[in-house]
Structure 1
Amino acid sequence: MASCARFSPSDLPYGTKPRMYFLDSSYFRDHGAKRSLPSPAEVVACSLINQRPSNPPPVKFEELKLIVKFGPKISTSETLCLWAIRKFLYGQVPVPEVCGWDSDGRHVFIYMQLIHGVTLFERYDSLSSDDKRAICQDLRRIMSQIRAIRQIPSNHVIGSITHGPLQDRILDSHPETGPFPSVGDFHDHWSWLWRRIALEPEKVTDPWRKSLPDDGPIVFTHSDLHRKNIMITSTNPVRVLSIVDWEQAGWYPDYWKYCKATYSVGDWEDWRCGGWIDSFLTPHPQPKEACDFICNAIGGF
Structure 2
Amino acid sequence: MLANPSHHHRNRDVLVTINDPFHALSDSLANLTLTTITTSLPGLPTSQTQSQNKPSKPPPDSHALPTNANPRSDLVTVTPLFPPGDNVIFAHSSFFRRLYNPPTGTPELPTPAQVRDEAARLGLTITAEGSDDDARLVPFPALGLLVKFGPEERALRGNDGASAVGGGVSAAEGKAMMLLGRALPSLLSCAGSGNGLPVPVPQVFGWRRDAGTGERFVYMDMPEGEVLEERWGWMSEAEREGVCTQLRELARAWRRLRFGDVGFVGSVDNGPLQDEVFRGCRMAGALPPGPFPTSAAFHDYFVSMAVTMSQSRQLGARVGQLRYTPHHLFPSDVPVVFTHGALHPRNIIVSAGPNPRIVSILGWEQAGWYPAYWELCKARRECSRRGGRDEWESRYLPVILDVQDLSVEMCGWNVGALCQYWDYFVSLM
Whether TM-score is above 0.5 comes out as yes
TM superposition shift of 1:7: 2.6
Secondary structure, counterpart of 1:277 in structure 2: helix
Equivalent residue in structure 1 for 2:255, among 147, 171, 181: 147
- Whether 2:226 is the aligned partner of 1:118: answer yes
Note if 1:165 corresponds to 2:272: yes
Deviations 1:274-293 (A, max 9, x none): x2100011332122101211
Q: Give me the TM-score of the superposition, normalised by structure 2.
A: 0.63
Helix, strand or coil: the match of 2:383?
coil
Of residues 60, 66, 71 in structure 1, which corresponds to 2:139? Answer: 60
Within a 5 Å distance, the mapping from 1:144-293 to structure 2 comes to 144-153=252-261, 155-174=262-281, 175=286, 176-196=288-308, 197-198=310-311, 202=324, 209-210=328-329, 212-266=330-384, 269-273=390-394, 275-283=395-403, 284-293=415-424
Q: What is the CA distance between 1:167 and its match in structure 2?
A: 0.1
Alignment pair present for 1:7 and 2:7: no
8 A contact 1:119–1:227 mirrored in 2: yes
Contact 2:150/2:215 (<8 A) preserved: yes
- Aligned-partner residue type, residue 138 of structure 1: Q
Residue matched to 2:97: 29
AA at the equivalent of 1:142: L
Q: Cα offset for 1:202?
A: 4.1
1:152–1:120 Cα change, 3 Å: same
Partner of 2:35: none
What SS does structure 2 have at the residue aligned with 1:173? helix
Distance (Å, rounded) in 2 between the aligned partners of 1:98 and 1:201: 42
Output the TM-score relative to the length of structure 1. 0.88
> Gapped runs of 5+ residues in structure 1?
none
- Cα deviation, 1:116-153, whole Å, max 9, x if unaligned, reads 11121111111221111101110011011112322111
Aligned to 2:69: none
Q: Is the 8 A contact 2:248 2:402 kept in 1?
A: no
Q: Contact 1:70/1:110 (CA < 8 Å) preserved in 2?
A: yes
Deviation readout 1:158-210 (Å, 9 max, x if unpaired): 1100111000011122133111111111111111122213368748x96xx31
In the alignment, structure 1 residue 39 sits paired with structure 2 residue 118: no
> Does the residue aligned with 1:231 lie in a helix, a strand or coil?
strand
**Cα distance in 1, alignment partners of residues 224 and 297 from structure 2:** 42
Alignment of 1:61-80 (within 5 A): 61-72=140-151, 73-80=168-175
RMSD of Structure 2 on Structure 1 (CA): 2.5
1:180 partner amino acid: F
Report deviation, 1:221.
Answer: 0.3
Equivalent in the alignment of 1:95 = 201
> Match for 1:13: what amino acid?
P
Q: Deviation of residue 50 (structure 1)?
A: 8.4
Which of the two has higher C-alpha Rg? 2
Q: Quick check: 1:119–1:229 contact (8 Å CA) kept in 2?
A: yes
Unpaired segments of 5 or more residues in structure 2?
A: 1-71, 152-167, 189-198, 316-321, 404-414
Asked whether the equivalents of residues 166 and 172 of structure 1 are also in contact (C-alpha less than 8 Å), the reply is: no
Q: Which amino acid aligns with 2:126?
A: R
